[in-house]
Amino acid sequence: MVLVSTKNVAALEWAADRIRVNHVEPDAVFDTAIWIPELLEQLANVLRGERSHPPAAGRKGSAG
One-letter-per-residue 3-state SS of 17-51: HCCCCCCCCHHHCCCCCCCCHHHHHHHHHHHCCCC
Q: What is the pLDDT of residue 27?
A: 65
pLDDT in tens, 5-50: 888 899 999 999 999 998 877 666 666 666 778 888 888 888 888 6
